[in-house]
A = this chain, B = another copy of it.
Amino acid sequence: MTRESLTSTALERAERHCEEQGSKLTDKRRQVLSGLLTSEKALSAYELSDFCRTELGHNILPMSVYRILDFLEEQNLVHRLNLANKYVACSHIACEHEHRLPQFLICTSCHRVEEVSLPSSVMSSIEGGAKTAGYHLVRNQLELECICSDCPA
């Protein structure tokens, strides 16, 4: 399956998903999501604005990109990586996979991102540690600084 067809499958899926939620995947939103799907790595809002313009010919100013990313994040179509201040398309848009505690492996060199799922035992252990210290987790997302196999150590 080519990357292009994966992307268009994901876009169709995203469109249906939005409709089910009673919201719309407008042209601009589709363009932003498509940019993130095409880029194959995490991008900042500004980088994504550039990418859409130079690679896809869509002119979307950063302010709009932010708003659209907020929307897409609410729809669980993209994830914001706080560690890197960048965004990635959810790797499960195009599959039936249930949404669970995502663990993001972020290559600090090339910004490639892998989204994997944690064993629930790990997360409950982390959650337990927090509870003991009097804290309550508000976001079950783990972000880890890594080097990927393509990048030199």
Contacts and interface: CB of A to CB of B under 8 A. Distances in A.
A15 interface: no
Given A82-B82, A143-B83, A134 B148 contact: yes
Contacts of A130: 105, 116, 144, 146
Contact of A149 (B121, B126, B134, B144): B134
A137 B147 CA distance: 7
Interface string A100-121: 0001010110000010101101
Contacts of A133: 105, 114, 116
A133 to B, nearest CB: 5
Contact of A147 (B103, B105, B138, B145): B138
Nearest to A132: B116
Contacts of A153: 136
A5 interface: no
Given A82-B82, A135-B147, A139-B145, 18 more contacts: A82-B145, A83-B143, A103-B129, A105-B130, A108-B138, A114-B133, A119-B125, A121-B125, A122-B122, A122-B125, A126-B142, A126-B144, A134-B149, A135-B146, A136-B148, A138-B146, A138-B147, A142-B144
